[in-house]
Chain A
């Protein structure tokens, strides 16, 4: 293949990519044609994720005089206000409405914050991505995970509140780790897609913010599923965030089994989105260097 052919091919992206592949096939001495950014990194994934999470946590708390207390204070204030509004001002006829709302609100908060931090993570780590051949997937994944660690304070508070209100735990609590694990899978998948797109079009983060706002009202946080007309209920259950909130409410407030069908739908959609996230990210990451 002459230099002129390559030059002609290089003027079009598509042609250029094909050219690279045909080159690999016709030149056996160049067998390890490594054009993908990931292949050179042979490091320790767990060690790296652990250090990235520790970095986020340390940076977050080191500059606060009260440290972790702030993470507890915030949800405590929120719980207090909710309790005041829904017991003293607005009577909903639903018993323990404040607890009910919190069982939806806390998982929803974990979801939205993780998604947003994950979305902006790649652009914020631009210098890192352009200078260190670290696998790019790690960046959004660790952003989501460190956010989950940070939000676990809220989850612990919620569990304490529920235990105090209803006098102890019930045996269906063992499903909570399953449900929350599925949520993390779902957010990781979503964040991989949105973070990758955000590199190409920086407006994506605002789309994510709007989507979160819409989601707030399309997830049964401040109204129970029974208020939703029958024809919409099935659609609700395919929304993993709604399914997550429903499962949390069933386990924590109603103290009943969260339904096999609900868990299966949640598992199916979470695993699907997570797998899709990795596939889409692989496609997107080839252009990161040029766009960051």
Chain B
């Protein structure tokens, strides 16, 4: 038998209902009276199967609406699949949207604690990593100022610093490497690269193809929820860019 994969999808389907006033009572009553039970659905992922070993770094590429973010949500356990099997072995940290749960009226320090707690960091560990977070974000004296006085770049730097200090086995990244100025982007990239060096598993979604090509060895190309190609990063990026330049 093969050793357990880091992430394995087998025939995964994920659909969403179309929202047309469905969240209101009248539509429920209407459906109940007319006996209409079927709701129109569209599928963000269609019969998706792939397997990632521990220590692999894989990029997901594809046009907008191809199902890339849905794929990461399923791996992160945010949403259940409609059909098929999903196996994830290891501690997952999802950098899906940086700063989820940040509040403008709280200070940087308060937001860091809240965000870390949400990401699953324990109280004792928080004490240990707090100086590292502040240092990595290059915040210094600003930690006790309310977040609304920060620039967008500062908020992103802070959020990224918390997220990379979770120390996961599997890191999910959704378009978040484009953070802050060029120097900070390099620093973030370096940090993610260190994860890779330490044998962690990385699954990322990005349009920044030069970064992706350096970071990942393999890529999945999704188009309208279907897996078009699964292969080496150069091969898949070449095929994807070829197809989009033909269309556009």
Contact = CB atoms under 8 A, between A and B. Distances in A.
Interface of A: 1, 3, 6-7, 9-11, 13, 16-17, 19-20, 23-24, 27, 29-44, 46-48, 50-52, 54-55, 58-59, 62-63, 127-134, 200-203, 286, 289-291
Given A42-B120, A200-B23, A31 B101 contact: no
A20 B120 CA distance: 28
Contact of B82 (A10, A29, A51, A200): A10
Interface in B174-221: none
Nearest to B17: A290
B97 interface: yes
B119 to A, nearest CB: 7
B23 to A, nearest CB: 5
B149 interface: no
Interface residues of B, number: 55
Given A3-B11, A130-B78, A48 B118 contact: yes
A128 B105 contact: no
Interface in B1-54: 1-2, 4, 8, 10-11, 13, 15-17, 23-25, 28, 41, 43, 46-47
17 contacts: A1-B11, A6-B13, A7-B47, A9-B83, A10-B83, A13-B82, A17-B82, A20-B83, A30-B86, A32-B88, A37-B80, A40-B92, A42-B91, A51-B113, A62-B105, A130-B73, A133-B77
B88 A40 contact: yes
Interface string B117-147: 1111111001000000000000000000010
Contact of B24 (A24, A63, A201): A201
Interface centre among B80, B92, B103, by most chain A C-beta atoms within 10 angstroms, is B80
B3 to A, nearest CB: 10
B24 A30 contact: no
Contact of B8 (A30, A62, A127): A30
Interface centre among A51, A62, A130, by most chain B C-beta atoms within 10 angstroms, is A51
B96 interface: yes
B94 interface: yes
B114 A52 contact: yes
Contacts of B121: 43-44, 47
B17 A128 contact: no
A47 B79 CA distance: 24
B113 to A, nearest CB: 6
B87 A47 contact: no
A16 B82 contact: yes
